[in-house]
Structure 1
Amino acid sequence: MVESEPSLKPKPRPIVRIGIVLISHSLLVSIICCTAGVVALLLLPVLAKNTYISENALMPGSAHPMLSSQDVSEANKFVQEITNSNLIPTGAGIGIPGLIAQHMEGLGAEVSYHKFHPELNKFHPLHFFSGPDHGKFQENWTCSSYGINAVGIIRAPRGDGKEAIVLLTPYNSVKISLGEALSLGIASSVFSLLTRVTWLAKDIIWLAADSQHGEYAAVEAWLRDYHTPLFGAEMCHESSNLYELKRSLVTGADVSDVFRRGGTMAAALVIKVADRSEEVERDTLTIFAEAANGQMPNLDLINVVNYLAVHGQGLRVKVEKLWSLHDSKWLKVLGETFQLIGKVARSLNPEWKFGMPVADYVEGTTTLASSLYRQALGVPTGSHGAFRDYQVDAITLEISPKYFPNNKGRKNEFLLRGGRLVEGVIRSVNNLLEKFHQSYFLYLLTSANKFVSVGVYMIAFALLVAPLPLVAASLYSDATKQDFSSDKDKPTLCSPSVDAISFKSWKWLHAAKTVFVVHIWSVIVALLPYFISQVPDCTPTSSLVLWILLSVFSLIFLRGILGSSFSIINVSQLQNKEWALLKSVTISAVFVGLCLMSVINFATAEIGALLIVPMCLMATPLISDVKGLSPRSLTRAACNLLLAFVGFPPTAYIISKGLLEGFGSVNGGDFWNWAESLWVWNSATYLYETYQLVHETTEYSLDSLSFTISISVQLVMNQSEKEILSARSLVGRWKATVSDSFQH
């Protein structure tokens, strides 16, 4: 009888075979992808495109400006009246809010007053994603410390009251500056014009925000009451100063106690005039657009402002740059290299438009770095950020005028230019039949008229994180092969049982347990500042040291309770099998975390990938490398220590600030102040810092990282010995504070 041929195994699909090849050559693929990712990031200024108007209905510059010299003259008188109010003693007159309200009412607007109080804006872990803990007053607040916003509304003759455009002019009601008075003058001239026009289809809201407690707080309080009104008892029944103000501000004016509202906000413009004492070449407009967690307004709004400012009013438009990189020699060398490559490419094919002049590359890179840095911080760059919390497109227009101390003609010209710019932007937004949606919301600016879209800058991020799943799969494959080979060498009389196979397939749970334990520790680290911030008389340096010490103690305590996967494993086993599983699980968690963070704030994920990915790829057990005593192992241990030291959040911040601003201005408490600003603004970057610390701890194992942490703590301790000595006494006060908090 003819024996049947053994059945051939089916070949895997092409995509599976490609994956197997990439996993088997993960080291080479990692080097290529990381190098390509860094090069792609440096190429972003070269790949930037010119801005353009996506929404045809905007039609910027299609109509001639209607703002006249008469409007400017009236605005100039208003500015003079505002500046003269500084000479009046406090309480002698109706004050600046009264003057603004009188002017609004005289122009024919509906006037109302919005009272707000300074709120306690501190870190609260349970309210991190839902915003500040509203309703809590500052410790020393009084009824007389209320801020009063003046609000004027023009009802659109061609509208139905369902949409509105907001003009915001922050000012200090205690002592107003010349720049704040000029910004009020620009808004006044435009407001005066808009009360007479017939083409207006959206309501105009002029918010004169009282910024004596901070301009962001004033705008945020008004927006909160605009969208979510609160109904409750009045906190200050005995205080009659606000009611007297309402009666005496405008004689015979229709001032309502009811909070007046317009329609849904289509856009908002924050008008600011910079106080300058030096003479500049020409009037300059600086655009600020970054909001919380890297949110940006629709690019069309910036494009309209840039087009009208340059082509309509002849202003010089710029965005912020990272000036510390402007004079870098390596950046100029890089620009010269790209310029040379561009010349060679054009010589081969004239249609290849690659490369750019060195000066343009340096300008574009410094602007791109600033845009990336400001988005990564997650902190708004102005009061326009309060509007983005309500999905309203808003930007800040900061105009820097020429020096005109006593030149009335020059002041009128400046008010005319600024007013016509704001008029043109309002006219363009007024033409929209729907909200901004045509252009980009995810972009990076390289200049006022050039940008990098999300489809381009995601390439660099994708190349940086691409090696992580490949390396994780390769490590897991190697660990399972070791298990299979070790079981194959053992003498056995029968085939392995199903229980044994299933037990080996779940070996990765030991590594997952360690990663889970360290993630629990990260939650504790993120919550510790809530208790530390309540310790009285605690300086930033002492708070930072206390944070680090309590984090280390909590890690040791947590490990003692929950245990660790490394408690009964020697170094050789750790290096061969268990370490590979731990690194595989950790790298998988890092990959998922980076991808999630790229959705929340891409800039933070990009900078985090530059720090974490090399750390993940090069991490090995430090103890085994030190005991190896070979040049290769010692070099690898030195590189890992350097990466762990530089990647440790406090030292990374100190080093970056020292490189940007000089090490002479660096203090150990700067990191605490920076972290405090992050959690006050509910920035996801704060959570990402603890996340980075978690995976750094896991990568270098719980035993090996103690040496790195001790070095970092010593660096902070050397900043101020006196602060460290006082930190011991703070531990006792911290315990008492924690107990009081739990009792409360």
Structure 2
Amino acid sequence: MTPHCSVLCYVSGLCWLAALPALSPRSSMSENAMGSTMVEERFHYGARAAAYSAEFSAQRDRRRVRAGGEWGGGMPVQWLQRSMWALGLEVHTQRFARTLPFPDESRERYAVRGTNVYGILRAPRAARTEALVLSAPCSAPPHNAHAVGLLLALAAYCREQIYWAKDLIFLVNEHDLLGMEAWLEGYHDGNRSGTQWWGSMGRAGAIQAAVAVELSGAVLTSVDVAPEGLNGQLPNMDLLGLFHACCHKGGLLCTIQGKLQRPEAGSVHGLQTLLLMGLQQAAGRAGGDHALFLRYRIEAVTVRGINSFRQHKHDLNAMGRLLEGMLRKLNNLLERLHQSYFFYLLPSLTRFVSIGLYMPPFGLLLCVLIIRAVDLWLQLQHSDAAPTQRMGGGDGAPRGAEDPPVGLLSLLPPVLVSHGAGLALYSLPVVGHRITPDPPVGLLSLLPPVLVSHGAGLALYSLPVVGHRVAALLAPQDPPVGLLSLLPPVLVSHGAGLALYSLPVVGHRVAALHFPVAEAEAVVLSMMAIYVAGMALPHSAHRWVWGGYGVLWGC
């Protein structure tokens, strides 16, 4: 009966997941302040944005020549300051430095230095207690130069308007996420990452929302939105509805996960988009610079202008009107976005799957493990006679072998040992990281932790049997059963925890030259190996312990 129930739950969960796009309702705008589309966007500074981007690229190339031809000269800070001052903004700069535990992806270096430049447009018609952020990351050439030009052109356009009720912050951050993290920590006067920063931080009101802009060129065919933050965190769904409404109004093709919108609800295309979004959240990686805003309870998205081989071409004016429309709608907010969903999956920008709809199929898939565990427990309850037959069963059987501890209580030692091993493998690297000055680096350095964690699992799997065999040779009348038998697995698990940190440190000088890996990926890979070992060990250890008893007594 158990295999049939397991198969039924598994198939039902998969069918439910496949039917999610067809079951998804249409999305709507929950915030009434952003629902009106009667406002006409009039941004027409596309040529000015192109001129700004060309001048920005020229200034940056000039700094690269002075720096020896490498991307180490940074962005043209003085030129950005002069440009923002000329537009009438309140200009501030922030210099920052960060020592990385791993080398960055572009160059294998540990120390990163940079400068953030931002200008504040004060609200002329309000108390200046709230603010909106429009940011453009200063990436390595030739990327995102047009986004910086468009940001400056938008600042010039917004400076001429009088309807702003919130302060507008135009931010150009260096080194992508590192610069954004330094700016957010400086703005909120905190330091949770160890980043050092200098300079007088100019502040506006409390940030209500943020939009990060990335452009691949002066011509775009579609606009993609990236909502995923760190560890799968998502912004309020009304922000995505606002993006879709502004794109639809301006005639722009909008995509999510690189997929265009299709009218049919239950299509395979919608399932692909939904699964891609789920995988992106499961990876835990940031979808853009907006991800760090979500950690401060600030709703934010990254908007990317894509230039592909599609027929419909748009210039910077269309992108500027899209951003203008989003800023004007956010300018009408009377409170933070809170009415719509924060946990959802999107088969398209017009439909959504809430957490109450996509969690039941995952529960059905997890029921397979619960049913299997209950079945094993019931088998242990009805196998009282089997251990006696395996251990001799006659009058000559040793005392204590007739009634071994069977049942739920007998699973307690393996569960405690496996979870203790997981705790040791989790905590000891952190403790060793504080003691040892050189952290592990590189993808190659992950090989020892994976081998060690699997070796620890193998040791916890086999040591009870080996220990009882040795104990039978030394004292066959009194095998060491109980707390003393847990000593070898505990020692092995703690030794594995020490090796999990020390072995990568030993070889990190060689590993740093090849395959740099992000810190989050290293932690995820190590924890996956630990979790798999901890999930499999309790049942395996219990099976082999009692199998070892049978070997001891000559069965």
The two structures share one fold, judged by TM-score above 0.5: yes
**Distance 1:455-1:117 versus aligned 2 partners, 3 A rule:** same
For 1:423 and 1:81, how far apart are their aligned partners in 2?
23
Structure 1 residue matching 2:267: 3-state secondary structure: helix
Matches within 5 A, 1:32-51: 32-51=8-27
2:326 to 401, 425, 440: 425
Structure 1 residue matching 2:137: 3-state secondary structure: strand
Q: Which residue of 2 aligns with 1:251?
A: none
2:448 to 546, 549, 562: 546
**Distance 1:485-1:538 versus aligned 2 partners, 3 A rule:** closer
Q: Which residue of 1 aligns with 2:533?
A: 693
Shift of 1:482: 4.3
**8 Å Cα contact 2:207/2:298 also seen in 1:** yes
Q: Which residue of 1 aligns with 2:189?
A: 228
Say if 2:250 is the partner of 1:313: yes
**8 Å Cα contact 2:53/2:150 also seen in 1:** no
- Counterpart residue type for residue 431 of structure 1: N
Structure 2 residue matching 1:66: 3-state secondary structure: coil
Matches within 5 A, 1:382-531: 382-401=288-307, 414-483=315-384, 507-526=407-426
**8 Å Cα contact 1:510/1:565 also seen in 2:** no
2:233 to 276, 291, 295: 295
Q: Which residue of 2 aligns with 1:197?
A: 161
1:265 to 193, 199, 207: 207
For 1:189 and 1:697, how far apart are their aligned partners in 2?
61
Shift of 1:119: 2.5
For 2:308 and 2:459, how far apart are their aligned partners in 1?
62
Higher mean C-alpha displacement, 301-310 vs 444-453: 444-453
**8 Å Cα contact 2:75/2:138 also seen in 1:** no
User: Could you report, residue by residue, the CA deviation over 1:358-393 in whole angstroms, capped at 9, with x for unpaired residues?
Assistant: xx7231122112111111111112111111111211
**8 Å Cα contact 1:322/1:370 also seen in 2:** no
1:158 to 125, 145, 151: 125
Q: TM-score, with normalisation over the residues of structure 2?
A: 0.73
- Counterpart residue type for residue 113 of structure 2: Y
For 1:200 and 1:432, how far apart are their aligned partners in 2?
11
**Distance 1:529-1:374 versus aligned 2 partners, 3 A rule:** farther
Structure 1 residue matching 2:315: 3-state secondary structure: helix
For 2:296 and 2:526, how far apart are their aligned partners in 1?
22
- Counterpart residue type for residue 96 of structure 1: P
User: Could you report, residue by residue, the CA deviation over 1:591-633 in whole angstroms, capped at 9, with x for unpaired residues?
Assistant: xxxxxxxxxxxxxxxxxxxxxxxxxxxxxxxxxxxxxxxxxxx
**Distance 1:258-1:380 versus aligned 2 partners, 3 A rule:** same
For 2:24 and 2:141, how far apart are their aligned partners in 1?
41
**8 Å Cα contact 2:442/2:517 also seen in 1:** no
For 1:538 and 1:176, how far apart are their aligned partners in 2?
27
**8 Å Cα contact 1:675/1:686 also seen in 2:** no
Structure 2 residue matching 1:117: 3-state secondary structure: strand
Please state which structure has a larger fraction of its residues in strand: 2
**Distance 1:399-1:552 versus aligned 2 partners, 3 A rule:** closer
Say if 2:172 is the partner of 1:208: yes
For 1:696 and 1:153, how far apart are their aligned partners in 2?
56
Structure 1 residue matching 2:98: 3-state secondary structure: coil
Structure 2 residue matching 1:445: 3-state secondary structure: strand
Shift of 1:79: 2.2
Shift of 1:424: 0.6
**8 Å Cα contact 1:443/1:452 also seen in 2:** yes
Q: Which residue of 2 aligns with 1:731?
A: none
Higher mean C-alpha displacement, 27-36 vs 686-695: 686-695
- Counterpart residue type for residue 691 of structure 1: Y
**8 Å Cα contact 2:96/2:114 also seen in 1:** yes
For 1:470 and 1:35, how far apart are their aligned partners in 2?
14
**8 Å Cα contact 1:371/1:444 also seen in 2:** yes
User: Could you report, residue by residue, the CA deviation over 1:308-361 in whole angstroms, capped at 9, with x for unpaired residues?
Assistant: 112x221111112599xxxxxxxxxxxxxxxxxxxxxxxxxxxxxxx958xx72
**8 Å Cα contact 1:163/1:265 also seen in 2:** yes
Q: Which residue of 2 aligns with 1:652?
A: none
Q: Which residue of 1 aligns with 2:477?
A: none
RMSD (CA atoms): 4.1
- Counterpart residue type for residue 513 of structure 1: P
1:678 to 520, 528, 544: 520
Q: Which residue of 1 aligns with 2:90?
A: 110
For 1:176 and 1:152, how far apart are their aligned partners in 2?
23
For 2:52 and 2:35, how far apart are their aligned partners in 1?
32
Shift of 1:420: 0.9
For 1:139 and 1:422, how far apart are their aligned partners in 2?
36
Matches within 5 A, 1:135-174: 141=111, 146-172=113-139
Q: Which residue of 2 aligns with 1:185?
A: 149
Shift of 1:519: 1.9
**Distance 1:504-1:157 versus aligned 2 partners, 3 A rule:** farther
**8 Å Cα contact 2:453/2:533 also seen in 1:** no
**Distance 1:167-1:272 versus aligned 2 partners, 3 A rule:** same
Q: TM-score, with normalisation over the residues of structure 1?
A: 0.56
Aligned positions, number: 470
**8 Å Cα contact 2:442/2:515 also seen in 1:** no
User: Could you report, residue by residue, the CA deviation over 1:680-702 in whole angstroms, capped at 9, with x for unpaired residues?
Assistant: 6x76x863552233213334448
Shift of 1:679: 4.9
**8 Å Cα contact 2:457/2:537 also seen in 1:** no
Structure 1 residue matching 2:364: 3-state secondary structure: helix
1:59 to 31, 35, 44: 35
**8 Å Cα contact 1:65/1:423 also seen in 2:** yes
- Counterpart residue type for residue 261 of structure 1: R
Q: Which residue of 1 aligns with 2:398?
A: none
Structure 2 residue matching 1:374: 3-state secondary structure: helix
- Counterpart residue type for residue 190 of structure 1: L
User: Could you report, residue by residue, the CA deviation over 1:428-463 in whole angstroms, capped at 9, with x for unpaired residues?
Assistant: 111111111111111111123222111211121122
- Counterpart residue type for residue 358 of structure 2: Y
**Distance 1:158-1:539 versus aligned 2 partners, 3 A rule:** closer
- Counterpart residue type for residue 694 of structure 1: G
Q: Which residue of 1 aligns with 2:57?
A: 83
**Distance 1:385-1:519 versus aligned 2 partners, 3 A rule:** same
| Structure 2 unaligned residues grouped into runs of 5+ | 68-72, 389-402, 470-510, 546-555
**8 Å Cα contact 2:46/2:316 also seen in 1:** yes
- Counterpart residue type for residue 519 of structure 1: H
**8 Å Cα contact 2:102/2:519 also seen in 1:** no
Q: Which residue of 2 aligns with 1:376?
A: 282
**Distance 1:554-1:31 versus aligned 2 partners, 3 A rule:** closer
**8 Å Cα contact 2:223/2:253 also seen in 1:** yes
For 2:364 and 2:110, how far apart are their aligned partners in 1?
53
**8 Å Cα contact 1:293/1:375 also seen in 2:** yes
Shift of 1:52: 1.7
User: Could you report, residue by residue, the CA deviation over 1:472-509 in whole angstroms, capped at 9, with x for unpaired residues?
Assistant: 3444344334459999xxxxxxxxxxxxxxx9999533
Matches within 5 A, 1:633-652: none
- Counterpart residue type for residue 185 of structure 2: R
For 1:99 and 1:556, how far apart are their aligned partners in 2?
61
**8 Å Cα contact 2:441/2:517 also seen in 1:** no
Q: Which residue of 2 aligns with 1:637?
A: none
**Distance 1:290-1:401 versus aligned 2 partners, 3 A rule:** same
Shift of 1:73: 4.0
For 1:485 and 1:95, how far apart are their aligned partners in 2?
75
- Counterpart residue type for residue 162 of structure 2: T
For 1:545 and 1:96, how far apart are their aligned partners in 2?
41
**8 Å Cα contact 2:21/2:271 also seen in 1:** yes
Shift of 1:528: 7.3
Please state which structure has a larger fraction of its residues in helix: 1
